[in-house]
Structure 1
């Protein structure tokens, strides 16, 4: 199984150890889960953005007063 060596300053390592302990996880499991969680977050954001992009025109037509002024060609209020 692939692995990775990661360097931390003493202060960073202290913080990471404290965060792992707060979640009741080993340092190895905490860092693994952190990376996987970030990967899933990015996939979720990409999917949500694609979904919103697909529905944007339909929403704008159904709710014309809700279209942000920048997309209407107007100037946003300062």
Structure 2
């Protein structure tokens, strides 16, 4: 199975060890899971963005008075 070596400063390693211990995991398992979680998070965000884009037209029709934040003028109050 492929593996890699990761370099940390002493302070960084201390923080990572503490985070792993807080989750009840070994350092190796914690770092493995961290990478997997980030990959899954990116997939989720991409899927949510795609879903929102597909529904944008329907939302705009249902709520024609809503203005996206990027298109609001200065001083416009947030809903």
Give the TM-score taking structure 2 as reference length.
0.88
The Cα shift of 1:15 comes to 0.1
- 2:41 aligns to what? 41
- State how many pairs are aligned: 74
- 1:67 aligns to what? 67
The Cα shift of 1:67 comes to 3.0
Runs of 4+ in 1 over 2 A off after TM superposition: none
- The structure where helix makes up a greater share of residues is 1
The Cα shift of 1:68 comes to 1.9
Give the TM-score taking structure 1 as reference length.
0.89
What is the CA RMSD across the aligned residues, in angstroms?
A: 1.2
Distance 1:76 1:49 in 2: 24
2:39 is equivalent to residue 77 of structure 1: no
